[in-house]
Amino acid sequence: MTESKILLVLDKKDYKDGMPVFERKCVRAIIKKNGKIAVQRGRAGDCKILGGGMNGEEDFETALSREVLEEGGLILCPGSMQLLGEIEEKRRDLFETDKIYHCHTYFFACTVEERTTEPHMTESEKAKGYHLEWMTPEEIVKANEPFSKEPWIYRDTAFVKMMMEGNL
């Protein structure tokens, strides 16, 4: 993979220097169809761009293919991924508060096959009523306004806004 362009650094600075760091890499799929983007929409109305954390030694394509299939039942076209950029997050870990959470989220434009399959969501995603939905960038930004305090919602919405403004 070529070097990614860092689009934004979200650093809450709510941690102390010298704390142990939990570093994570994530992938997100920008899948467009008829001017709309595939998202995971929750029962509460929040929208997440399809994607998630990379497991072990997965490469970007393997991780993104798995996440798109699990969350949306969509099948990634091999070789269709184009790196758009990276958003870096740094904050106190929400689960292990004695650690720094340092996440590199890579956004890719990609295409999917016409055929679909059944999603394989996590129990947490099922409990929150997540389902595949196609929304315009403007709809995503508006839907996410009430949820902007959630770091993952803020990150995804910031990316969609950059895309709308042509800043990629």
Please report, as a single letter, which amino acid is at residue 63. Answer: A
- Domains of the chain: residue spans and CATH: 6-164 (3.90.79.10)
> How many other β-carbons are positioned within 10 Å of the β-carbon of residue 40?
24
Given this model, what pLDDT does residue 168 score? 83
Residue 84 CA neighbour count, 13 Å, CB half? 20
Task: Report pLDDT digits (tens) over 71-124.
Answer: 999 999 999 999 999 999 999 999 999 999 999 999 999 999 999 999 999 999
Give 4's pLDDT tier (boundaries 50, 70, 90). Answer: confident
Give 1's pLDDT tier (boundaries 50, 70, 90). Answer: low
**Of 103, 108, 31, 43, nearest in space to 72 by CA:** 31
Helix (H) or strand (E) holding 163: helix 151-164
Given this model, what pLDDT does residue 164 score? 96
**Of 104, 34, 43, 115, nearest in space to 72 by CA:** 115
Question: Strands 6-11 and 82-92: what pairing?
Answer: parallel
- Evaluate if residue 44 carries a pLDDT over 70: yes
The percentage of residues in the chain with a pLDDT greater than 70, rounded to a whole number, is 99
* C-alpha–C-alpha distance, residues 157 and 141, integer Å: 6
Residue found under tokens 């096959």: 113
* Region 116-144 average pLDDT: 96
Question: How would you class 16 by CB atoms within 10 Å of its CB: exposed for 0-12, middle for 13-18, buried for 19 or more?
Answer: exposed
Which comes out higher in pLDDT, residue 38 or 3? 38
Give 2's pLDDT tier (boundaries 50, 70, 90). Answer: low
pTM over 0.85: yes
> How many other β-carbons are positioned within 10 Å of the β-carbon of residue 13?
9
